[in-house]
Amino acid sequence: MDKHILVTNDDGVLAPGLMALAQEMRKLGKVSILAPDRNWSGGGHVKTLDRALRVKEVQLADGMIAHASDGAPSDCVALAALGYFKEPIDLVVSGINIGANLGHDVTYSGTVTAAMEAVIAGIPGIAVSLEIPEGHTGEIDFDSAARAAEHVVRHAFENGLSQEILLNVNVPFLRDEEIRGFRLTRQGLRVYHSRLDERIDPRGRPYYWIGGDAPTGVAERGTDIGALAEGYVSVTPLHLDLTAYRALSDLNTWPWDENVAIPFFELSVPDIKV
């Protein structure tokens, strides 16, 4: 039976990266598109609880019918997982994002958090982002990123991707023949250069803008940042268990029960292998 693939993104339903991804995914199964009606880049993992969500049909530039919601990317995934489409979803693919999502970016990224929402719904998720060089202003060619996504998704279908895992795929800004291959990686260290800009509004009150230069990163081998720097597509498996396992035994040596009015229950360190 055909796989049912949900395609979403965080740049908005009309973004060219989504259409390129959807076209490539149609080679692998039945594609449904449900994506935000506006740009949610940097919007993080969202669950809209205090208002209704609206969905409307839109037509993409190639004639494909898509569904656009006024919620966040993760809301779009929740809508689909909870039955907006009548047929169950086998895989959520999010992207192709304009700009890489590396290291700590994953918690800010609407592209990646859409795939996180899939995992919460018990569906494997794959996020795909294309690195854009600093200062690039011209057209963006999504072809090699779309083909990289097809390669990863096909392997996920053939080999089975656990529903607890999402894959964070980042593609270097290179032509097909310049890409050196695929690397399995871990999250690298992103370096942010945020700067607070304080200004005064026309009524004399201060307002703030979090600005500064674009983030850079430490191009260490074995990491997502390192792979892109060397011209490889980076594939990082992620899960939502953020427990710092190595900190558990450290914390357990703290004298938790000294000088406390309320007695502490004994802390138990779970059985872990690090």
Category of 21 on φ-ψ map: left (φ > 0), alpha (ψ -120 to 50) or beta: alpha
What is the β-pairing status of strands 29-36 and 65-69?
A: parallel
Touching Mn ion, residues 95-134 (CB under 5 A): 97
Binding part of the chain for Mn ion, among 5-13, 25-33, 88-96, 136-144 by CB under 5 A, reads 5-13
The residue among 109 and 185 lying less far from Mn ion, judged by its C-beta, is 109
Site string for Mn ion, 129-158 (x = CB under 5 A): ------------------------------
SS3 258: coil
Smallest separation (angstroms) from Mn ion to the CB of 129? 8
Smallest separation (angstroms) from Mn ion to the CB of 17? 8
# residues near Mn ion by CB under 5 A = 4
SS3 261: coil
Question: Which residues, in sequence order, are bridge partners of residue 126?
Answer: 93, 167
What lies within 8 Å, CB to CB, of 10 at 6+ separation is 36, 39, 40, 41, 43, 72, 73, 94, 97, 109, 110, 111, 114
- Considering only 8, 32, 41, 101, the residue that binds Mn ion (CB under 5 A) is 41
Q: Which residue is nearest to Mn ion (CB)?
A: 41
Residue 83: how many other CB atoms lie within 10 Å: 10
Binding part of the chain for Mn ion, among 94-102, 209-217, 239-247, 249-257 by CB under 5 A, reads 94-102
Touching Mn ion, residues 6-35 (CB under 5 A): 10-11
Note the residues at the interface with Mn ion (CB under 5 A): 10-11, 41, 97
